[in-house]
Homo-oligomer: A and B are copies of this chain.
Amino acid sequence: MNNLKFNQEKPIDLIAIGRLAIDLNANEINRPMEETITFTKYVGGSPANIAIGTAVLGHKAGFIGRVADDQFGRFIVSYLEEKDIDTSSIVIDQSGAKTGLAFTEIKSPTDCSILMYRENAVDLKLEPKDIKEEYIKQAKAILISGTALAQSPSREAVFLALDFARKHDVVVFFDIDYRPYTWKSTDETSVYYNLAAEKCDVIIGTREEFDMMESLTNPGNDNDFVTAKKWFDYNAKIVVIKHGKEGSISYTKEGESFKGRSFPAKVVKTFGAGDSYASAFIYGLMEGWNVDQSMEFGGASASIVISRHSCSDAMPTAEEVKTYIEKCKKEEGQSV
């Protein structure tokens, strides 16, 4: 059990809002991308990955976003439909904006980078008029990805979605997902992340992301508890602060805190860890599990995804995650 209340009468579990993009993953890996000859195409983008992860785990997901009126846009929509995600609120953009691209370079399992194409990115063309009150009303929860705040009109669309969510008792998950290259300045970023975070129930980010959020109002703070506490004065119930390899810590409005654990993995690349974590953690919370149990589920899902080549395509089923946790625990037991 946890401190979130989901209205079980609503037909959609989670609506993700924001970025739908394309990953082009190097096929010839463990080398610089200059020497990569071929790339494989996948659906990408943090909220897309989370929606897919959620759907594969067994929840009913929907998406609000914009795709380009081209081959990449059509591929994205048809892939989501294959995963049984509701695409009725995905708008085909006619402005000539482009699907964001992420060319992934895997020099070694721990030396990965991304060559981004985000100029005139179609996902940031989302408009307030694309946000339907009736649609959001039908969801138990929505997921906001911070990148959608980076530019107008997408930013305004997100704030409108937050307004509708609060009005209709829809739980709001906020994945900070801070990507500096889409923003004009840290000051701007900080202001809008704060305005959004005030209206969210669950906030998930890295320590560095929370530092950025505090850069204007509490610079230099590195106390996780202080960071988390601020948001409980607004609408937050749970705040998760991730510390990379040192693991995560979560705080609840009621004053509890939980340390996350990590699982062993045969790492192929580091991409996708955050998205798979978020989708499995949210899944757990929406199943009514305890916060620590949900964190464990998130951690295991992340370990599975970083052992595979893609992100979206690698999202595990609930069965797979459970089996993985059991296996790891068993091995640990043996190694003790």
Residues of B within 8 A of A41 (CB): 36-39
Per CB-CB distance, the 4 closest pairs between chain A and chain B, nearest first, are A119-B119, A33-B71, A128-B187, A156-B191
Other than the known A70-B115, A117-B117, A160-B191, what 5 A-B pairs have Cβ atoms closer than 8 Å? A34-B74, A37-B41, A38-B40, A128-B188, A167-B217
CB pair B156–A71 under 8 Å, yes or no, is no
A17 CB → nearest B CB, Å: 15
Give the shortest distance, in Å, between A182 (CB) and chain B (any CB): 12
Output the nearest chain B residue to A22 by Cβ-Cβ distance: B103
Mark out the residues of chain A between 16 and 35 whose CB falls within 8 Å of any chain B CB in the assembled complex. 24, 27, 32-34
A95 at the interface (CB under 8 A from B): no
**Number of residues from A at the complex interface, CB < 8 A:** 46
Indicate if the CB atoms of A159 and B191 lie closer than 8 Å: yes
A153 touching B216 in the complex, CB below 8 Å, given contacts A40-B37, A98-B117: no
Contact of A101 among B117, B184, B194 (CB under 8 A): B117
By a CB distance below 8 angstroms, the chain B residues around A39 are 24, 38-39, 41
Task: Determine whether the beta carbon of B98 is less than 8 Å from that of A119.
Answer: yes
